[in-house]
Amino acid sequence: MKIVLHQFASFAYGVSRSAGNRARAGLLGLTALCALSVAPATADTVRLVALGDSLTQGYGLADGEGFVPVLQDWLTQQGADVTVINAGVSGDTTAGGLARMDWTLAEPADAMIVALGGNDLLRGLSPKTSRENLDGILARLKLERIPALLVGLPAPGNYGPEFKNAFEAMYVDLAAKYDVPLYPDFLRPLSEKADAGMSFRDLMQDDNIHPNATGVQEIVDAMGPEVLQLVQSVAEAEG
């Protein structure tokens, strides 16, 4: 993973339930809905919001090739009754994600993938600040009784051991604090190839920043089972 993030380190990713939760769905919710990529849903469909940056948003990819639609297709193929909502914003940091929680939750959400921190890392922002922002997001989800999957990224060594340890520890610590599952590395397929001394250019777009369609598919294939477990747990709790 050090190799992967060293190559990413000079730019940003974005070239850039409770009754109370459901009661907020009104005119503001309709506005938010228009701004999000939403698949058709039935009354019992689990609404899974993917909160993230350009990796979630699908930067540089054709319709249907980004993380959210590919994940939607993968989950559907597993028999999951779920709608994955794209709340990814290119270039967003943990601060941005926290700031738009009201807007993101304007429509009902049954579960959330929280995949933020990459831009904080690439900009060298303080892990302490990133931790506080992620803590705010997870605290809000706990208050709203919305289950979450926290998705992290390992830090490269060029920031120094203190930074690396603090950045990586925030995901582990917060997952434990809020009792949510942790998927440690969004870019796991790329990391694994890098760790094996292999090139991962075949999984990247020409900008060498964002995964291409093949890369996204591998990312979803790797992360999918963790997401499916979250969706199934929500469905069982609501059933």
Q: Where are the domains of the chain?
A: 2-238
- Is residue 239 very low, low, confident or very high in pLDDT (cuts 50, 70, 90)? confident
pLDDT in tens, 40-53: 444 589 999 999 99
Which amino acids are annotated catalytic?
Answer: 54, 207, 210
DSSP for the chain?
-HHHHHHHTTS-TT----HHHHHT-SHHHHHHHHHSB-----TT-EEEEEEESHHHHTTT--TT-SHHHHHHHHHHHTT--EEEEEEE-TT--HHHHHHTHHHHTSS--SEEEEE--HHHHHTT--HHHHHHHHHHHHHHHHHTT--EEEE--PPPGGG-HHHHHHHHHHHHHHHHHTT--EE--TTHHHHHHHHTT---GGGB-TTSSSB-HHHHHHHHHHHHHHHHHHHHHHHHHH-
Q: pLDDT: is 204 or 23 the higher one?
A: 204
The fourth-level CATH superfamily of domain 2-238 is SGNH hydrolase (3.40.50.1110)
